Chain A
């Protein structure tokens, strides 16, 4: 039981930390940095899933995170390439 609680609260802490980091962390004016920071909440959520034993959801979530990251990076790179100010 203790292990599960450790995972759960670690997950909670990571999610909150990561969110704060993403919103007001240093250097988040750069979209790449911001996307990298969103990985922390993703890992935190994975831990919460794990502590509830939502393992299948966890598997799907890991795969989906990779894809979301790819999509966002693609958008950022393309926009940068265009020189768009967004």
Chain B
């Protein structure tokens, strides 16, 4: 298959499945809280809706920047899809993409000039302190498998069994990272309802659409990376089942936990990271 078609295909799949998973998550959370909840399709419709709404830009915004940054987020996650499912490149590259994404996310907030966006931006910087150590899980994977290239990691797991059994603490760390990126999670301080919609507060119309598209792709990609590097070679059906399972699990967690205060959220995550890194290193030395 030609590369461009492959990329397009994967991006579309990522977007649609990501949105459906978000919808599913909302539904599950609603049911746990004994509300009827919106249909599963809701998140997708919500995203598409923004493309036919009028776009307006706040007059206080930092102009070309404010628009470019939202489109940038999209581009970044599309490149994540390219690195991940399409060419199965280096995990380090994925790490870099995650870092860039973090920046875009926080500056989407601050470039609008809204106080809520600004607060969300400050919190995003803060939360990066916790998420970057969590991403160090990739280093543990490297130490275990001796490679950073995704296709080699898959081969390694085909031979030696899933990594989740050999480095469970790393898998736990990555799970916390995924948890922190999910909506309504205890660690979602950047989008807490106390600051309206966080960094998305001042994005309307097309820009909001971009942001939501990239969020969906991001969710898909995080789950994809988790399943790929910890569970091993899977068919597409396997990925689907895994993603649904993780989404439902996270929905359970999110619906029963409160939003933490920013400092505490960071420190809880750092504690997890610390336990995870030290624990996995110790486990590796022992085994």
A–B contact with Cβ pairs below 8 Å: the answer is no
Q: Which residues of A contact B (CB under 8 A)?
A: none
Q: Which residues of B contact A (CB under 8 A)?
A: none
